[in-house]
Amino acid sequence: MEYFLQKKTRSLLDELDTLYITRDREHLIQSRATHIIQGAINLITTIRESYDADTADELERRLINSIRGQDVEKFTRGIKRITNENKRNH
């Protein structure tokens, strides 16, 4: 009987520990996502304030595609291209 209670107690403690880790992980993911999304919203707002509508749309598209494709360079190339065009035009 004592062995059974120890096993049941250990199982309950393991389950609570797993629950805590899962909740902590979910909280971490939610928190990081909230910060990243807010940062992206702020970046898009800054882009729209800094560039004409066509350029802002292109940069926003590149930003989203960079995230989707997990390729930072897509967005970086867009910024570099715009910077080079602006230097040539001025």
* Average pLDDT of adjacent 10-residue blocks, the chain of 90 residues: 53 67 76 93 96 92 93 90 81
Question: Does 28 lie in the same domain as 7?
Answer: yes
CA distance 55 to 49: 11
Half-sphere exposure of 62 (CA within 13 A, CB side): 19
Q: In the structure encoding, which two tokens stand for residue 26, read together?
A: 């979910």
Question: Does 81 lie in the same domain as 39?
Answer: no
The pTM (predicted TM-score) of the whole model is 0.67
Domain around 76: 53-90
Question: Does 61 lie in the same domain as 39?
Answer: no
The pLDDT of residue 4 is 46
Integer distance in angstroms from the first to the last C-alpha of the chain? Answer: 86
Question: Does 41 lie in the same domain as 1?
Answer: yes
Question: Does 67 lie in the same domain as 33?
Answer: no
Question: Does 44 lie in the same domain as 7?
Answer: yes
Question: Does 60 lie in the same domain as 84?
Answer: yes
- Indicate the number of domains in the chain: 2
The pLDDT of residue 22 is 64
The pLDDT of residue 78 is 86
| Residue given tokens 């004409």 in the structure block | 52
